[in-house]
Amino acid sequence: MEDYQKCKAYRGNVIYSEDKDTLISKENSYILVREGIVKGIFKELPNGFPKENIIDWGNKLIIPGFCDMHVHAPQFLQRGMGMPRRILMPGE
């Protein structure tokens, strides 16, 4: 049995993509998260889920975010190299 004390449930209108051609919309649903990992999206919460662990966003959208937090090591030495150069605009 899942230890729901370590979980959070975010309620709202959940929209996400399964692939580049498919958009999924689940109104008034819950995203169940345990230790930063999404465990699932549910229309109803499991029995025994603590009410104090529910964050209700009402009719707002809940969508995945994208954080690109990587750096390419070979580019590191080139940082700032183009700063004194003028950017050419189309037609110049």
Average confidence (pLDDT) per 10 residues, the chain, 92 residues = 84 91 94 92 92 96 77 66 67 64
Q: Report CA-CA distances (Å) from 64 to 1, 61, 84.
A: 27, 10, 37
Q: What is the span of the domain harbouring residue 23? A: 4-64
When divided into structural domains, the chain yields a total of: 1
Is the pTM above the cut of 0.85?
no
Q: What is the pLDDT of residue 4?
A: 86
CATH of the domain at 51: 2.30.40.10
Q: Residue 37 pairs with which residues in a beta bridge?
A: 34
Is 54 contained in some domain?
Answer: yes
